[in-house]
Chains A and B, each alone.
Chain A
Amino acid sequence: MAEQKREHREQPCARCPTRHMTDPLTGLADRRQFRDCLAEQLTAGGPDGPGVMLIDLDRFKAVNDALGHPAGDALLQSAARRLRGALRPDDTVARLGGDEFAVLFARPVDRGSMSAIAARLVELLARPYLLRGQVALVGASIGGAIAPEDGTDPDRLMSCADLALYQSKGRGRGCFSFFAPEMQSRADERRRLEIALRAALPRGELALHYQPQVNLHSQALAGFEALLRWNRPGNGLIPPTAFIPLAEETGLIGSIGDWVVREATVEAARWPAPLCVAVNVAPQQFQDGRLVGTVRAALAAAGLPGSRLELEVTESALLEDAGWCTRDQLQALKEMGVRISLDDFGTGYSSLSQLRNFPFDRVKIDRSFADDAAVVRAVALLGASLGMRTTAEGVETPEQLERMRAEGCTEAQGFLLGLPMPPEEAAALIRRSDDLLHKPGEVG
């Protein structure tokens, strides 16, 4: 490919009084100048208001970490030149900070042309960068908003574009989204949810429900998996899928996870031995390094032997582990007698090396395989040969239960054997657990 000679001289919008405010690294406009230009254009605006785009480089931090800040700066300079060169000279291009860029179109744009330009920019910014002999790859996520329909005030228009950018990131990055009013309402709802979730723990709105787990060989109750519920005032009982992602994103998962471990161990200590309680652990709980201490203190306070606590981790917790620190923590937990199980097996990478690299006590076969005899058999066999127990999840019919047993699973859980239930009901179930498997239809 030949090279086209291009002059990339920054030309701040001519009407702006503050044309000297530029970003020193890239020579583009800075945030203040961009806002001034936008305000100016909105004031001068005819029937068609200006359009703005916010652009975030995806995975820029990884480049910075891997190749160093000078290389990261060089990448930002190249990205700035690519942007500048792909747009009209009178469009305003700014670096708002970090890896965040913005474009203000000098001429009215409609949604179609903004989408087309955005697609071009996504492709252009995703082309490889050569930085001191190293190839670096980043992507770009873009959000757009157009005045006057999305807003007529500069801050409002910027925040619309920002919400659209957030949407693009949520869609998997490397794409463009326009602002839509429901993004605003969703963001508002999210903010309300976060405020309410922060208060949920101190206000005692979180509760654990317990789902029975049955030993397929002895047909006896083996224990319960503790599942989190949020009794949000005015909203009823909220399942974890509706708030755990937010808790993980906001870091609240740390304190919630600590509470779950304490609450579950206290409850399990009320059950007769050898009934176990299984607790889910989020990847973030390994990152702050508190988990081992929390578990040790919880076991001691509840007077529960470590062997009656099982921690369920997902593959992603292990994959996100940059060093070996998650495995070290798991090892420390095992030394306390705590058992470790690999949860949702089959849904992620289902990596055999994961199974081999850590001595899990148990593999839980994801519920989506309840009807797949071949997969169940293979995982049960694999578990057995690696010395691990296998739990079949999502057992809903007597036929499935019989098949799981026949294929070699050691434990099972599912609606057939009992729904997640409040602690009182779990206690009642324990009392009549003797005939659990003999008359499964009457349970749950």
Chain B
Amino acid sequence: MSVTHEVFRLAYASRSLLPEATVAEEMVRLLEHARRNNAAAGITGALLFTEDAFVQVLEGTMEAVEVTFERIQCDPRHAEVVVLEAAVAPARDFAGWSMAYAGRQTGPHFDALAARTHAAPMDALVLLHGALGRLSGCRVPA
């Protein structure tokens, strides 16, 4: 079926439960796992980490996104997951990035992301692209 070759994109926001004291190490571990798993599953994407929220985009085959997302759903390091977007996309936005990450951002807060679910998917993608733009030049291992 041709469907399996289409790019499926999912974006979600969630509230971080990472303890502030160990945030730095936790993020290193988290990204390591994400990149290893994603590379194996053909998933690309980007992660935004604000003071209290994660916004993540996953791109890949529908099946791979589904498996990856469900694994993320079982993760106790976050809660209150809100799906911002789940749809077939014309192309990958983050091709070449097994999980792009631009360091911790100052905003927006989880409540703002979760409360504005209509505007949020746009915001999330804009934010992620903004983060990526700032990254251009400095290479992040893909």
Contacts and interface: CB of A to CB of B under 8 A. Distances in A.
Interface string A1-31: 1111110000000000000000000000000
A62 interface: no
Contacts of A323: none
Nearest to B62: A133
Q: Dominant SS at the B interface?
A: mixed
Interface in B48-97: 54, 56, 62, 65-66, 68-83, 86-88
Interface in A123-168: 123-124, 127-135
A83 B41 CA distance: 24
B74 A2 contact: no
B81 A2 contact: no
Given A1-B56, A2-B34, A4-B33, A130 B70 contact: yes
Contact of B74 (A4, A130, A135): A4
B72 A1 contact: yes
B74 A5 contact: no
B15 to A, nearest CB: 10
A3 B75 contact: yes
Interface size class of A (residues with CB under 8 A): 20 to 34
Contacts of A130: 10, 65-66, 69-70, 83, 86
B73 A128 contact: yes
A81 B68 CA distance: 14
A85 B54 CA distance: 22
A78 interface: yes
Given A1-B54, A4-B74, A132 B62 contact: yes
Interface in A89-136: 123-124, 127-135
A131 B10 CA distance: 12
Contacts of A4: 33, 71, 74-75, 77
A77 to B, nearest CB: 9
A238 interface: no
A86 interface: yes
Given A1-B14, A4-B71, A82-B73, A135 B62 contact: no
A5 B83 contact: no
A86 B69 contact: no
Given A86-B74, A127-B81, A3 B68 contact: yes
B37 interface: yes
A359 B45 CA distance: 54
A124 B56 CA distance: 18
B38 to A, nearest CB: 8
Nearest to B30: A2
A128 B73 CA distance: 8
B12 A128 contact: yes
Interface of A: 1-6, 78, 81-82, 85-86, 123-124, 127-135
Interface of B: 8, 10, 12, 14, 29-34, 37, 47, 54, 56, 62, 65-66, 68-83, 86-88, 99
Given A1-B34, A1-B56, A3-B75, 5 more contacts: A1-B78, A3-B33, A6-B74, A128-B81, A129-B70
